[in-house]
Amino acid sequence: MASLRIDNLRKEYDKGSIVAVDGLSLDIADGEFVTVVGPSGCGKTTTLRMIAGLERSTSGSIHIGDDDVTDQSARERDVAMVFQNYALYPHKTVAQNMGFGLRMSTDLSKEERDEKVRWAAEMMDIEELLEKKPGELSGGQKQRVALGRAIVREPAVFLFDEPLSNLDAKLRTTMRTEIQRLQNELDITAVYVTHDQEEAMTMGDRMVILRDGRLQQAGAPKHVYENPANRFVGGFVGSPSMNFVDVTASTTGGTTTLASDDLTCELSGAVADDLPADDEFVLGVRPEDVAPASGDTGTGLTATVEVVEPVGSDNYIYLDVADQFIARVDSTVEPAPGESMAVAFDESALHLFDTDTGEAVA
């Protein structure tokens, strides 16, 4: 295994009219599992393909360990990629699919190659599939084979391009756990691209959020969830999405209040001290931080219930505030649509973003 360093990586298409990746820098430590997430078209796959050597960067550099691999072909780089569509050879058996890369890139004897294939098959629990052809396998089995083929080569870096998105929800969860187990056992250095923020949060030592080819934030999932760097990250990470309300700050008699037509929020302490008065902000609060309240608590609102959505142990309550405002509450809280409901949130759960730039200010 090895570390991976990306410096100021850029990729343009169509003579520069499309900038798919825009000045991306990342340092990935040896044995670190980094997930890359962002909306469709944000440059995830292009980034991965540049690391793999399947796409040439317009500028910037890529290092694996101490080696500058920027100008190396895919074949020269010590990386293995796992694709969404498995990319198995249909006419080769599972064992041949798994051993093929070894035959091409090493001078191991047939016995040594077979030994490694058996080891990887055991790792992926697919020993009984070794003589089958891909056409005889289910989607989940194919993806196990594709993972086995990647680990058999023991590459310096693993690259995953949405490997689970063709699988059904249950199998996805199982395979997620399998990949995490592999990570624990083999301590692999990996870059894992997904559009699923939940997958990115649960699997990554660190998650990287991209938008329009640019890095928005990189950090431990919990840190990113609790301290989104900007409004975009706040809205992208977490489900259901963070609520946003435009508010104005005002200070009277030593108390700073954030207010909109629907909501008031009295601030105390450090947040208020740092906040310029008479300024406008976007207030963000996560649905899970909004709780039913009895009467006016100083931090909250009373609004009409629009929809109550049961999701098992919880209810999502859609309130008539701003564009959308959801409270995630216990399923025993069941207001009727049309009813008025008071909710509140803790000051410590608030996020404030600059109205113009979207950057977090508190």
42 is a site residue for ligand ATP (CB under 6 A): yes
189 is a site residue for ligand ATP (CB under 6 A): no
The residues facing 4 across adjacent strands are: 28, 64
Alpha carbon distance 1, 158 (integer Å): 9
Stretch that binds ligand ATP, among 37-45, 168-176, 252-260, 286-294 (CB under 6 A): 37-45
Of the candidate residues 4, 24, 45, 201, the single one contacting ligand ATP (CB under 6 A)? 45
Instruction: Give the total of residues touching ligand ATP (CB under 6 A).
Output: 13
195 is a site residue for ligand ATP (CB under 6 A): yes
Give the pair of three-digit tokens for residue 51: 């690391």
Helix, coil or strand: residue 106? coil
Of the candidate residues 3, 23, 29, 41, the single one contacting ligand ATP (CB under 6 A)? 41
Alpha carbon distance 310, 314 (integer Å): 6
Of the candidate residues 43, 148, 234, 238, the single one contacting ligand ATP (CB under 6 A)? 43
Q: How far is the CB of 9 from ligand ATP (least distance, A)?
A: 12
DSSP state of 335: P
Percentages helix, strand, coil for the chain, rounded to the nearest 5?
A: 30, 35, 35
Of the candidate residues 1, 6, 9, 20, the single one contacting ligand ATP (CB under 6 A)? 20
CB 265 within 8 A of CB 299: yes
For residue 33, how far is the Cα from the chain centroid? 12
Closest CA to 10 of 193, 212, 204: 212
35 is a site residue for ligand ATP (CB under 6 A): no
Alpha carbon distance 154, 169 (integer Å): 29
Alpha carbon distance 341, 324 (integer Å): 15
Which residues in 268-327 contact ligand ATP (CB under 6 A)? none
Of the candidate residues 13, 73, 181, 255, the single one contacting ligand ATP (CB under 6 A)? 13
Stretch that binds ligand ATP, among 42-50, 66-74, 277-285, 333-341 (CB under 6 A): 42-50
Of the candidate residues 6, 32, 46, 233, the single one contacting ligand ATP (CB under 6 A)? 46
Whichever of 59 and 106 has its CB closer to ligand ATP, that residue is: 59
57 is a site residue for ligand ATP (CB under 6 A): no
18 is a site residue for ligand ATP (CB under 6 A): yes
* Residue carrying structure tokens 């550099």: 61
Alpha carbon distance 190, 158 (integer Å): 5
Whichever of 42 and 327 has its CB closer to ligand ATP, that residue is: 42
Residues engaged in binding ligand ATP (CB under 6 A):
13-14, 18, 20, 38, 40-46, 195
